[in-house]
């Protein structure tokens, strides 16, 4: 089998969340939640003037705010935008980027302005995060972090934009459970539909839905944030194995009664295919080039793809299932390629046949280029 890899997942970038802050979920008292979150924000002040990584991320208030993710978002954002306390500004900014890989435009502007803050810890935290943000002021941030004083703070803090692995095992499980509960609630897509742009293409929401338009249907803010949290748990924490099985069970047992939820789970499974990165503890301990648990997961994923590509007529589900199927094929699972070839000629939906045909052509072109490169290397 070829080395596992996903052909679909682009590097995580700075996502812009349009609209209002995510609302709290049903079934709990919002007033009690907000009061507790406000207390946690206040507790973030307990930070020395020269914090180490252990002190910065080790405060219990940081873990509690992180675990509560989407529900705590409005309080974290409000504190970040309005507080004057340096420790709260640095801590909430780190949480916003760690939780969601980015922020909305308002908090993005705030973070950039903090690169010039009078407090050195804030300057360093803001510069670290903006240096890694897609479209961020990387040159300016690098210059700030190269100064001797700021470089010393950066080395003590040792934090990063996708840095979420500091949660304990138990807190990490709670974080995953909270995000997965939001996914399980279903109805993740905006209603009425709104659509992200695709490059220079702007989708008319009143035009008929197509299989190529469907993936640009926006997620509701809470669902989006839950998806990002679960993606981080799989790819960035180094604990992907314990979370992987929880997500796999949810994926395999979903009855498909809510197409939006099923499609979102396919999106999450795409992240699983990139689990074999440097954060995998199995890889770190064995110095291997791939996670030994992935092949078994891929074999389990394939029949779910086949099932919903046969049973579903929802274009959102069909598109996401094709994405995952293409990822399986591109990662070296030959049975997935055979399924694609069968669907290309035999699926009843012409749009499905068209999209799978395009994906097969892209895969074959890539495989041919890789084969040619190997031949050139053999001649050297």
Residue 19 domain flag: no
For residue 282, pLDDT beyond 60:
no
User: What pLDDT shows up at residue 239?
Assistant: 66
Average pLDDT over residues 356-373: 95
Residues 95 and 226 in one domain: no
Q: Which residues of 131-144 are buried (b: 16+ CB within 10 A; e: fewer)?
A: bbbeebeeeebeeb
Q: What percent of the chain has pLDDT over 90?
A: 57
Residue 42 domain flag: yes
User: Could you read off the pLDDT of 291-304 as tens digits, one per residue?
Assistant: 677 788 899 999 99
Domain of 80, in residue numbers: 30-157
For residue 131, pLDDT beyond 50:
yes
User: What pLDDT shows up at residue 134?
Assistant: 59
Number of domains in the chain: 2
Contact 272, 236 (CB under 8 A): no
Can you read off the two tokens belonging to residue 74? Answer: 């409005």
User: Could you read off the pLDDT of 35-49 as tens digits, one per residue?
Assistant: 889 999 999 999 999
Residues 79 and 100 in one domain: yes
Residues 148 and 176 in one domain: no
The residue with tokens 């030959």 is 334
For residue 18, pLDDT beyond 60:
no
Q: What percent of the chain has pLDDT over 70?
A: 83
The residue with tokens 């290397």 is 377
pLDDT-derived band at 8, boundaries 50, 70, 90: very low
> Could you give the angle at the alpha carbon of 54 between the alpha carbons of 283 and 102, nearest 5°?
70
User: Could you read off the pLDDT of 228-260 as tens digits, one per residue?
Assistant: 888 877 776 666 667 888 899 999 999 999 999
Mean pLDDT of the chain: 84
User: Could you read off the pLDDT of 98-111 as tens digits, one per residue?
Assistant: 666 555 778 888 99
Residues 188 and 119 in one domain: no
Residues 251 and 356 in one domain: yes
For residue 190, pLDDT beyond 70:
yes
For residue 97, pLDDT beyond 50:
yes
Q: Which residue in 183, 162, 179 sits closest to 171, CA to CA? A: 179
In whole angstroms, give the CA distance from residue 308 to residue 336: 14
Residue 2 domain flag: no
């Amino acid at each position: 089998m070829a080395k596992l890899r996903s052909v679909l997942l682009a590097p995580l970038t700075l996502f812009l969340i349009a609209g209002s802050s995510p609302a709290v979920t049903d079934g709990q008292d919002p007033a009690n939640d907000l009061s507790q979150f406000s207390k946690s924000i206040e507790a973030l002040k307990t930070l020395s003037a020269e914090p180490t990584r252990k002190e910065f991320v080790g405060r219990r208030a940081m873990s509690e705010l992180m675990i509560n993710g989407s529900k705590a978002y409005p309080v974290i954002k409000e504190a970040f935008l309005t507080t004057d306390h340096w420790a709260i500004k640095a801590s909430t900014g780190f949480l916003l980027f760690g939780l969601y890989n980015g922020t909305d435009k308002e908090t993005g502007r705030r973070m950039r302005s903090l690169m010039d803050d009078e407090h050195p810890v804030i300057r360093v935290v803001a510069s670290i995060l903006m240096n890694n943000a897609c479209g961020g002021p990387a040159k300016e941030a690098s210059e700030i972090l190269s100064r001797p004083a700021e470089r010393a703070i950066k080395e003590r803090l040792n934090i990063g934009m996708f840095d979420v692995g500091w949660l304990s095992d138990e807190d990490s499980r709670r974080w995953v459970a909270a995000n997965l509960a939001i996914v399980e609630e279903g109805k993740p897509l905006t209603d009425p539909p709104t659509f992200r742009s695709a490059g220079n293409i702007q989708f008319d929401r009143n035009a008929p839905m197509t299989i190529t338009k469907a993936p640009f249907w926006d997620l509701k803010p809470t669902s989006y944030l839950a998806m990002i949290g679960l993606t981080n748990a799989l790819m960035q924490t180094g604990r992907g194995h314990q979370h992987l099985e929880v997500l796999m069970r949810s994926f395999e047992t979903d009855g498909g009664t809510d197409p939006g939820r099923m499609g979102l789970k396919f999106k999450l499974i795409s992240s699983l295919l990139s689990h074999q990165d440097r954060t995998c503890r199995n890889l770190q301990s064995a110095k291997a080039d791939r996670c030994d648990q992935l092949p078994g997961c891929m074999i389990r994923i394939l029949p779910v793809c086949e099932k919903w590509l046969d049973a579903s007529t929802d274009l959102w589900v069909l598109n996401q299932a094709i994405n995952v199927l293409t990822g399986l094929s591109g990662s070296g699972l030959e049975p997935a390629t055979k399924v694609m070839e069968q669907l290309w000629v035999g699926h009843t939906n012409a749009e499905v046949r068209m999209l799978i045909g395009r994906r097969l052509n892209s895969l074959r072109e890539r495989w041919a280029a890789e084969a040619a490169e190997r031949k050139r290397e053999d001649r050297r």
